Amino acid sequence: MADDQSPSASQPMPAMNPDDLVSKDLFELIGMQDMPEDQKDQIRVSVLETIRDRTLLRIADALSPEDFEAYKQLLSEPESPETNTKIDDFLTAKDINVNSLTVEETILAKAEAVQAVQELAKVKNG
């Protein structure tokens, strides 16, 4: 990453606003909205994989071992609207809201990225 793409000492990162974590784009939050699109795409893929993995772990934690096996069986079925409905119905019956979990993990990922950039700026600026 080029030095001109990171927050400078003359422009410290503002304090984290919880509303911003919901409403703003990750790159705007970390002050890198001018980053080349190909680099943004690489970061997006990585962040989305992390969010997906964390959401799946939270689902696994919420299920009993038997229910988790049933869930894995559903996931192994060929993707189709019917399979997606079965998965949604299964998780709803277990009182698991995947959308809420995904939103929570997205906000956490953004907060962690902001914190990492702030820590990096502190180290860089001594």
Q: What are phi and psi of 59, to 5 degrees?
A: -65, -45
Residue 100 has a CB neighbour count (10 Å cut-off) of 11
Looking at mean pLDDT, say which of 19-23, 36-40, 66-70 comes out highest: 66-70
Residue ranges in 6-80 assigned as alpha helix (H): 18-23, 26-29, 37-62, 65-76
How far apart CA 7 and CA 12 sit, in angstroms, is: 6
Average pLDDT of the residues in 3-23: 57
Average pLDDT of the residues in 106-112: 90
- Residue extents of the structural domains in the chain: 35-124
Task: State CA 93 to chain mean position distance.
Answer: 25
What is this structure's pTM? 0.74
pLDDT the model gives residue 66: 97
pLDDT > 90 fraction of the chain, expressed in percent and rounded: 56
How far apart CA 41 and CA 23 sit, in angstroms, is: 19
Token code pair at residue 4: 């001109």
Question: Is residue 123 a contact partner of residue 39, using CB atoms and an 8 Å limit?
Answer: no
How far apart CA 32 and CA 62 sit, in angstroms, is: 36
